[in-house]
Structure 1
């Protein structure tokens, strides 16, 4: 009895207080009471003011929230009531279902136990059904179940393995998406920061030039207005004198006309002399439009090189690292390949020693006292020199910061540019790989490669100059076509040791590719390519 009362109380809790039925699409008000959506809408449509039908709390606006938890609870109650209703209408159904399962273990036709499984027909059979399945394969029921369970478990295990791999890849993809978003956000911040520098520079130059124009204009106008004021004052004074003289001339009475005439004439004559002695020149100064109406964009474009970061690095080549077949020249800014020539045999000379291993100094003495110091061979032991690959390094390496340098490659069909670690391989024949300390871009027969991987470029692109950009701290090495700063390739790597610019003009064949590689100095950048 107590249980029935509790169930009844529970059902009352999930009944709408308006329609007294189970909630349909329940919603909860701000006061915490629940109603059917349709019921509360009907109540509020017919009410003069908005309030809760139960507690009468007023509301300023028509607002409620769907109660999904209550909706799910009501749905479960509905299903339970349906089950109970079905049980009441057909109480023997469960017993019949059990009997049906028992019947299925007996052959309908022979009333024998179904203990065999026909693999071809996928049906159960008794011993008397075998002739009807001539030529078919039979398995004991338990063995058939075990076999197919094993196969199904194998499939499930395989699917679970595939699912695990997919989920792993899914997580990796999610991390990659997150990384790309963060990377894009960081790059956007970098772009804004870089352009802010340009905007600030241009704004300051604009403001400065406008101020100079205002100062110059103000100075010219001040002189003109001062001159105009003097002219106006003088003109007014002369007008007054003319008016006084005209008034005297208009006097018709002779006695009055002649009264004080000498004094007035003296004043008129002196005023005339003073005005005649003063000359006014127009101020014809003009604003120097040549300063302000010049090719401003070009002028300040040239000045912007002072704020460019990184500024072009003045790279010099280290001849001590150059392969013996390379020539470093033009102030250590260019390198080219030289052909091998057989050494010429020195001609016999009467002054040469023919049996003793002696050599004379270049100068002799005929008088005085002299001393000299023995100097050994100052040439290095070639430890740093490349002996197989046609490479040469830059004189200075980098361990931090951002750097860029521009290399003239001209019409060469083969060349190599990039950076090399201080510990890179230098002796013997080796692959040009990151493992051996090289991050380079290779041009081979007019095609670009990175580690034997072709770099896709516009087939109409002509590369005469290459800009190499190194952001050591940011772990980036990029290459650009200097003509339009179009991107060629970028390495992303964490740098941990000193990096040196590396160059290779490559060898020549059939008189081709003999031109040098040339590192352009800072003065030749001029912000142009």
Structure 2
């Protein structure tokens, strides 16, 4: 008897909060599945407990336990899918390559600022399964990952030192910037964007004023020409 094949949609194993494949899947009373961390963060930030997908409210916050069966199904599907990756999974021009693939490189799905390295789906799994790696900072694939590391300590640049006007890592904070004025890099970036927005608005306002003055000057010149021509004709 031929072995039956089960065809499932990838959407069935996608978390509707992060829109990625379920990690540590949990099933809530309404029947919908989410990543344990996604749902926990969602409920921690809200005054009520409701399903992010169907919006059903729960008077008592349900206890969240990993759905081991669903977790195993997702693991097996990932292994089966990635054991013979289709051509579109291989890194092409403009893609970020997995740093750990031997031979033909697969396309990276995440870059880790803590490691630092880029990973395909297969080599990324230890970051989701091992306690030692679960707290690493994962970002979208970044080909310029090395440029975002401290040259001295090879750690991710997370702090902006206002005193030295430079981006530094946490190790730099401890070893060489004692007493300096510092903020998180993201905070400084947002502040710079605001300043840039104000500057661009000022430039735009200045250009509009110049355009207005130029139009007024042209209008006056036209009136003078008309007036001069009228006197000459008279």
Fold shared, TM-score > 0.5 on shorter chain: no
Which protein has greater RCO, CA pairs closer than 8 Å, 6+ apart?
1
* Shorter-chain TM-score range: 0.3 to 0.5
Give 1 or 2 for the bigger CA radius of gyration: 1
TM-score, with length taken from structure 1: 0.15
Q: Which has the higher strand share?
A: 1
